[in-house]
Amino acid sequence: MAELTYRGAVAHGIAQEMERDDRVYFIGEDVAAAGGVFKTTGGLLERFGPERVRDTPISEEAIVGLVMGAAMTGLRPIGELMFSDFLATCWDIVANQIAKTRYMTDGQVELPLVLRTANGGGLRFGAQHSQSLENWAMAIPGLKVVAPSTPTDVVGLLAASVRDPDPVVFFEHKGLYAAKEDVPEGEIVDELGTAKIRREGDDLTIVALAAMVPRALEAAELLAAEHGISATVIDVRSLVPLDTRTILDSVRHTTRLATVEENPRLCGWGAEIVSIVAEECIWSLDGPVVRITTPHIPLPSASALEDLAIPSVNKIVESVTKMMV
């Protein structure tokens, strides 16, 4: 075991895959010489050289197109979009080209590529550098969507994404980059489409993603200590494919469900989970489901306002105690 930060896990995970497979390439803005604007990719240039680790112009369409074309012709490229907000500048290639080409060509081609991007708020960057956009990607058939919450998962799910034959949008949460934990030695390879139960409880199921996972866990401790409420916390980890079994099994056991989502409320991923629960096991529920989300607003920059908008530990505790009455 060695202690690794979430940001360090990114370079660790990329290096693990580049070491294993010489078809893995990595490109993006400021990723090589500068080591990444979030210090996530330092050392890769020195280790793998300028052919395999490349700085690009600030040209997101070119980055994503390069990654796509290279994947179609036999490589397994990783492209970085510095902020997930920049997906909007290259959405044609992501949504119209990458997501649909395997399908439209009758499976003549595979697109084994990964688009890594820094997602989410909490850093006071304002409305164009703070969005949680996992639900955009989730809304496009043909994309796999992953969002890890721990350093170990960054390494393991990144490895699974690189090895996956389909395109994966990999959302790292910039509010988690400083998080640390002990990570197992040796190769780590996880599995897409598997949720993880982070805490077991009997009274309700809290389903969370990325930075909302540690908040949900902290809230669960408070709920237990101060309100006698015992919560299961599920880390979804992968929105597409989605591990519905783990969620449904838990809801059947606890009979109550809350989702904690950083994405704006309308059409957030939690709505999909709530809808699946309603279809599959509504008779197991003992009360209304609750979605704890960022409201449907652009994110404000001012600290106090951003904190007000994104679900906090207190907001989770408050909402859950209210629903459990």
Partner 1 sequence: MPTTEQLLSMYERMLLIRRMEERLSADYAAGKLPGAVHLYIGQEAVAVGVCAQLTDRDWITSTHRGHGHFLAKGGDPKAMMAEIWGKRTGICRGMGGSMHVADLSKGILGANGIVAGGIAIATGAAFGARLDGDGRVAVAFFGDGAANQGVFMETLNVSTLWGLPVVFLCEYNHFCEFTPSETVTAGQISDRARAFGMPCAVVDGNDVVEVWRAAGEAVERARGGGGPSFIEAKTYRIQGHLEAEAVILDGKYREEAEIEEWRRRDPIDRLREHLSAAGACDDDGFAEIESRVSGAVEEAAAFAAEGEPADPELAFDLMFVGQRP
Minimum CB separation from partner 1 for residue 307, in Å? 36
List of residues 6+ apart from 149 with CB closer than 8 A: 173, 176, 208, 209, 210, 211, 213, 214, 235, 237
Minimum CB separation from partner 1 for residue 178, in Å? 33
What is the rounded CA–CA span in Å between residue 265 and residue 50?
Answer: 42
CB distance 261 to 294 below 8 Å: yes
What is the rounded CA–CA span in Å between residue 41 and residue 133?
Answer: 22
Alpha helices in the chain (DSSP H): 6-20, 44-48, 60-72, 91, 99-104, 134-138, 151-163, 212-227, 244-254, 269-281, 303-309, 313-323
**Which three-class secondary structure state does DSSP give residue 105?**
coil
List of residues 6+ apart from 167 with CB closer than 8 A: 71, 98, 99, 111, 112, 113, 114, 115, 142, 143, 144
Minimum CB separation from partner 1 for residue 119, in Å? 22
- What are the residue numbers of the active site? 129
CB distance 291 to 265 below 8 Å: yes
Minimum CB separation from partner 1 for residue 59, in Å? 4
Pick the closer one to partner 1 by CB: 57 or 228: 57
Minimum CB separation from partner 1 for residue 63, in Å? 8
Residue 211: CA count within 13 A, CB half-sphere: 26
CB distance 76 to 23 below 8 Å: yes
- Is the sign of the CA dihedral 116, 121, 127, 132 positive or negative? positive
Minimum CB separation from partner 1 for residue 25, in Å? 7
- Binding region for partner 1 (CB under 8 A): 25, 51, 54, 56-57, 59, 61-62, 64-75, 92-93, 96-97, 101-110, 141-142, 144, 165-166, 240-241
Pick the closer one to partner 1 by CB: 128 or 314: 128
What is the rounded CA–CA span in Å between residue 176 and residue 302?
Answer: 20
Pick the closer one to partner 1 by CB: 144 or 256: 144
Pick the closer one to partner 1 by CB: 31 or 206: 31
Pick the closer one to partner 1 by CB: 51 or 279: 51
Pick the closer one to partner 1 by CB: 58 or 282: 58
**Backbone angles phi and psi of 41, in degrees to 5:** -125, 20
